[in-house]
Structure 1
Amino acid sequence: MQLKLWTCIPLLCAGFAAAAELRLHHRIISPDSPDSQFTLRGTIEVTPTGATLSSADKGLASLLEQSRTQNDAFYQLALEREGDVDQDSWAISPVKTCHLASSTSEIIRLHVGSSGAAFALDYFVSPVPRDGSCSSALSRVPSLGNTTVTLKYPTQPPRPKLRVPPPLTAEGQPLVPPPEKTFIQKYWIYGVIIFMFMVLSGAGPDEPEAAARPASN
């Protein structure tokens, strides 16, 4: 069996290193046996280089052999949290046993808290029918030759963009900005300058003409 590795964040791996060993349990549950007990499937080892599942096939074939003719049965994978031996409080993720017949790979995703401890899990098998139906009764013992263990760690949401609050008056009221000036109020000085330039430039040519005129006797 091929077991894939997941490279983890050093801080989270350090948290796992200090915690107890992660233990996975499994069982087949159906309307005929709703109270079946979990049995140990294997352990997950988390190191600075990745996460691996050991003893991945322990008891799986014998469990599925019991449900070959039951399309309404479920295969459940459970995560035993540190110090919690009560099966009713374990994190559980189920799949239909009929889907295991055609599946060749499985994904075990552990959800990790900010403290570095796993608190939940997701379990997927592939491939499965798009509509999720069971085509027939379980005809063979599945061969899950590809097992992937991943860790999903918490992410920080994007910080909201805050606007600068408006200035306040001494009474605590928002300071009302002065009204915007009109076009004439903004640029009247330029109009005056242009007008004066036009007046002065228009009176200049008359002086030389008057000087060239001969004086009368």
Structure 2
Amino acid sequence: MSTTTPLRLAVILGSTREGRFGPTVADWFVRQAQRRSELDVDFIDLAEHPLPAVMSRTPSAEDKELLAAVSPRLAEADAFVVITPEYNHSFPAPLKHAIDWHYTQWQAKPVGFVSYGGLGGGLRAVEQLRLVFAELHATTVRDSVSFHSVWSCFDEQGELVDGTVAEGAAKGMLDQLIWWGLALRQARADRPYGN
């Protein structure tokens, strides 16, 4: 693949709670990412794609059907952005479940983060996710987007009240993600990653 072929970016919304604010944040971020000609964006809302409740080394036919809606899309992605709230100083259980159901799909690929919450803006969730993705041989980019007191950041139509800081943060994070995405895609093509 050439450096002119757009990177396949999977944007994953990790919250599945009823009444969640995540779709508002996700809609805003997906629009930011879609403005980048270097990216082909695939949005995965975990609330719309429930995964098997029990993990098994030999998934049943029903489990395989549930996984088929997500697993190939993660495998095809060159990079990821995880959108997460902070629940009890951590990230949502459905997000961890989705991460744990997969392994090779994350390897040697970059991961960026968009977080949201109260005063902490979801940053504690992101710090924990960095440890999880390191264990899966993924590379997390340094910069992220975080919305502190998120409910006051957006108006009733789901638009940012003042987008200057968030748009700048999104640009910086996407710049890093694209750099790493192109570099790692070429590296995987030259020499497949694995043990």
Tell me the TM-score normalised to structure 1 length: 0.24
Return the index of the structure with the highest Cα Rg.
1
Structure with higher RCO (Cα < 8 A, 6+ apart) = 2
* Bigger fraction of residues in strand: 1
